[in-house]
Structure 1
Amino acid sequence: MSQRQVLQVFEQYQKARTQFVQTIAELSTRPQNIETLQNAGVMSLLRPLLLDVVPTVQQTAALALGRLANYNDDLAEAVVKGDILPQLVYSLAEQNRFYKKAAAFVLRAVAKHSPQLAQSVVDCGALDALVICLEEFDPGVKESAAWALGYIARHNAELSQAVVDAGAVPLLVLCIQEPELSLKRISASALSDVCKHSPELAQTVVDAGAIAHLAQMILNPDAKLKRQVFSALSQISKHSVDLAEMVVEAEIFPAVLTCLRDPDEYVRKNVATLVREIAKHTPELAQLIVNAGGVAAIVDYVGESKGNVRLPGVMTLGYIAAHSENLAMAVIVSKGVNQLAITLTEESEDHIKAAVAWSLGQIGRHTPEHAKAVAVANVLPRLLQLYLAASSSEDLQIKSKKALKNILQKCVHLPALEPLLHDAPANVLKHVVGQYSKVLPHDSKARRIFVTSGGLKKVQEIKADPGSALHEYITAINNCFPEEIVRYYSPGYSEALLERVENFLPTA
């Protein structure tokens, strides 16, 4: 065999390897091929090609492995068991930028499925290699590394701490300052994943100077970047008053509120979530949002949203109202109650209705004026219905009951209480009757309406244990009327009268 023929054999072998990995990489983009590839033992065939002398073969083999591992946790587990990760980590430091991107993709694809698989990536020494990649000149390598680090950090505090300990955070903060949009997005997302688990982890990101750089990007025209920026700021804000104040001190208000009208649904939701996380901490932070025009903006947001996108807006109104009478009144003045009442009718998901019920309870619990504002929106019968419905979730029943109790303890607006007087069960009825017992002694017009509407008759039908609060309320109500009127509306009185008629003997 001539030298030329020998070289041809090697050329054919190289072409065959190249064609094989390219075909596998292409086949692994389609879900219907995955099981067949797995059954054919594709993992063990790709592993040696990661060490191939031809860089293109190496890179394409890594790409194919990444696509397979990305598909499900079984294939990701196969990558771990095939002892492929150490080779990838070793090659991250040695190979060219194309390979580094492909290798980081495999690490990310394995890490995304579960904390256990992410821990396997950490255990093979990937973190140090990925952090070194964040310092590469090539933005694509940085992006791939940031993505993998974010996927590791997102699972739990321990994995997130491992990412922090590897020195990733300062480099991720540098990455969000790079000109490439996709690198900014992925780095902001990774910072958000680090922040979310604990105040200490969030503080690490804050100490690296992230807030100022994130705040500068809130009006960036790129929607995908804004999603990640607002997510990161809300994950920082949620943990403590101090962290929320640091976000506010970056002067994000009122500019952030304009993004509640952003065309992108996820941007709007993440902004509403950020406002919620700030509002929940203190009256001072809630007042700052009110002063910036935040309540009206959130009310509009709730009105223009549907489903889960509505949820952070609904919760924000409840958190603001919970702090004080004045803040609750700011929600009322901005027509927040009316919008929540509409939401309670429109939404079908129990968890959203439960959030609305909770917020209404926070608004109505302060004073009779607050309770009246909620009651006249005709939400009390709806709350009662949700509380009593067997189809309601346990959380919805609890939240509706608590909201009713909060409002009824303050509500002296009797027309709004009228439907409950006739329909409420004993544990709710006690609060309704209690409010009547407060108002009727001082209001003659209310007493007249109470009789003509059937209220007095209804009260006489209630069975209350002597000495109970309910019994005392009923006694107080009965004392507001002449004895013969009370007797007239008592159960059995009409039968007693008829019996007297029957037994009456007229005088001749």
Structure 2
Amino acid sequence: MTTHDLHACTAAFAVPQALQQYYIKIVFETYQKARLVFVQTMAELATRSTNVKCLESAGVLELLRPLLSDACSTVRQCAVVAAARLAEHDEAVAKQLLSGGMVTTTLENLNKYNVYYKRSALYLLRAVAKHNEELASAIVRLGALEHIVSCLEDFDTQVKENAAWALGYIGKHSEHLAGLVVDAGTLPLLVLAFQEPEMSLKQIAAGALVDLAQHKPEAVVDAGAIPHLVRGLENQDPKLKRSTLCALGAVASAQPELAEATVAGGALPPALLHTGHDSAPVRRAAACLIRDIVKHSVDLAQLVVNTGGCGPLVDLLCEETSADGTRVPACLALGYIAGQNDQLAMAVIEAKAVVMLSEILYMTNAEEADICAAAWTLGHISKHSPQHSLAVAVANVFPRLLQLYTSPKSSGEVKARTSCALKQGLQCCLHRPALEPLLHAAPACILKYVLAQYAKILPNDARARRLFVTTGALKRVQEIDTVPGTSLKEYINIINSCFPEEIVRYYSPGYSDSLLDRVEAYTPQIPELFTDRVPSDCQSEVTIENAN
């Protein structure tokens, strides 16, 4: 065979071999495209919670497990996103991801691949940790905190967002987990993230600070977060304002010292200003912050009053609807202020709060929480002195409180709040027109407080004693069934001692029957002069009958 023939044979065999390599390449490309289409489709289907059970029963987790470490970066990322979405909707899926080692695999690959994989992996950690303390603790035991904290220092904004989000979801469940998150050195990085120009990162960092401040407020203050949070209120974004106010409120609510630190950081003036914000969530967060400040001490409550805080809080009570939730924190803030001392309570009265609180009680569509908060606040306003109680009494509050207390439609919480408010207000009430309606309608547990006040009024007021008789109140007192030795019986004895004995007997039950019995048993004592000359009609009739 010549050299030319040899080259010809080699070329004849080379063409089929090249074609075979092309076919093999096509097969692998098709396989990769199929994997990509599969994970993308799973990620899309997992966005709807209604699909989770169906996907789980089809074995989607087993199919996604090897794809978490796929050679193709896009397949890896989409597989992690699909697993994260499934875990976000279903706690059982989150547990399977942990027990099946899929979370461990994701953590091991977190710093191996590109930034897109980091975003998806942090999303998976957040989706698992959000459900409960058990799952969040399992994430921590896998060493996730170290990886997440390192991601807070990443250059990519979305990586930092997902890291901050995951830290908040881990720390929100308990004080122990929050302590672990804080000890990992997260707070300074979160404060830095809050100062970044990207709005979404600011919002998420503020939310993480809220979650951690609920359990570790001292650490948030020590990290120097207060001044930055206060400056954050200058931003015009409503979501950021709300999160910032919530973070300040979580710090202020913990201890008086932290509330003072919050006020010292300049949080009070902007909080009062934001009670008039256009966004209802911002108004509510501002009211909650003021409530968390004033509840601690007289000095803090006095500071809020001196800053003009009562007016904006009363304005929040005028909201046309309670759906935005601003009435309850505003009511509680006013109640905390009024409960501190009599002067602050008078400042609340002068701000026209009693009228607005009374209107809430009389609203037919008022929420139960609004009614409870209004009743609680009115009790704290009226408990100080007769003057304070008078301001509540003239607003016709006591009859409405009694109506709510005795209504079978009222819940146990409403009954408890209205009962407490009635007792607090009645113990100082000397306004007789407000007491009289309760005397005829109140049950025994409330009636004793009404009689106690009458026992204070009647001994020193002659006109009140006269009105007590003419209005039927004395008769009502005699009709009350009591047990000797009780406080109710004692008050009745004191009231009876304020009147002549014959008046008390006259209005006692059965006294008219005893008078009739005496009439029948009485023997007339008529002079004989009249009996001889003026016969009675009955005697005349007898005489006529005998004559016939």
Aligned to 1:251: 266
- What is the identity, as a one-letter code, of the residue corresponding to 2:33? K
Deviates more, 1:231-240 or 1:427-436: 427-436
Percent sequence identity is 50
Give the 5 Å matches for 1:298-377.
Answer: 298-304=313-319, 305-307=321-323, 308-346=325-363, 348-377=366-395
Give the 5 Å matches for 1:480-499.
Answer: 480-499=498-517
Q: Shift of the alpha carbon at 1:309?
A: 3.5
* Count of residue pairs brought into register by the alignment: 505
Q: Shift of the alpha carbon at 1:391?
A: 4.2
Residues 153 and 193 in structure 1, CA contact (< 8 A), matched pair in contact too: yes
Q: Distance in 1 between matches of 2:204 and 2:46?
A: 24
Q: Distance in 1 between matches of 2:389 and 2:122?
A: 57
Q: Shift of the alpha carbon at 1:503?
A: 4.1
The CA deviation string for residues 343-399 of structure 1, in whole angstroms up to 9 with x for no partner, is: 223255444433322221111110010111112222212222333344433333333
Q: Distance in 1 between matches of 2:102 and 2:347?
A: 60
Aligned to 2:537: none
The CA deviation string for residues 238-271 of structure 1, in whole angstroms up to 9 with x for no partner, is: 1101100111011223222121122222211111
Structure 2: 5+ residue stretches without partners: 1-16, 532-548
Report the TM-score when normalising by structure 2.
0.89
- What is the identity, as a one-letter code, of the residue corresponding to 2:344? L
RMSD, aligned CA: 1.7
Deviates more, 1:280-289 or 1:399-408: 399-408
Q: Shift of the alpha carbon at 1:177?
A: 0.2
- What is the identity, as a one-letter code, of the residue corresponding to 1:208? A
Aligned to 2:539: none
- What is the identity, as a one-letter code, of the residue corresponding to 1:11? E
Report the TM-score when normalising by structure 1.
0.95
The CA deviation string for residues 432-467 of structure 1, in whole angstroms up to 9 with x for no partner, is: 111111112222222222112111111122234445
Q: Distance in 1 between matches of 2:506 and 2:234?
A: 71
- What is the identity, as a one-letter code, of the residue corresponding to 1:209? G
Identify which of 269, 283, 308 aligns with 1:293: 308
Q: Report whether the alignment pairs 1:228 with 2:243.
A: yes
Q: Shift of the alpha carbon at 1:49?
A: 1.2
Q: Report whether the alignment pairs 1:118 with 2:133.
A: no
SS in 1 for 2:452: helix
Aligned to 2:86: 68
- What is the identity, as a one-letter code, of the residue corresponding to 1:306? S
Q: Distance in 1 between matches of 2:382 and 2:190?
A: 45
Residues 245 and 271 in structure 2, CA contact (< 8 A), matched pair in contact too: no
Give the 5 Å matches for 1:376-415.
Answer: 376-415=394-433
Identify which of 91, 95, 107 aligns with 2:125: 107
Identify which of 157, 160, 178 aligns with 1:142: 160
Q: Distance in 1 between matches of 2:514 and 2:43?
A: 92
Residues 479 and 508 in structure 2, CA contact (< 8 A), matched pair in contact too: yes
Aligned to 2:218: 203
Aligned to 1:190: 208
Identify which of 37, 44, 54 aligns with 1:19: 37
Residues 364 and 371 in structure 1, CA contact (< 8 A), matched pair in contact too: yes
Q: Report whether the alignment pairs 1:279 with 2:297.
A: no
Structure 1: 5+ residue stretches without partners: none
Aligned to 1:422: 440
Aligned to 1:449: 467
Q: Report whether the alignment pairs 1:95 with 2:113.
A: yes
Aligned to 1:438: 456
Q: Distance in 1 between matches of 2:483 and 2:108?
A: 79
Q: Distance in 2 between matches of 1:191 and 1:206?
A: 11
CA gap of 1:127–1:434, structure 2 versus 1, over 3 A, is: same
User: Which of the two has higher C-alpha Rg?
Assistant: 2
- What is the identity, as a one-letter code, of the residue corresponding to 1:213? H
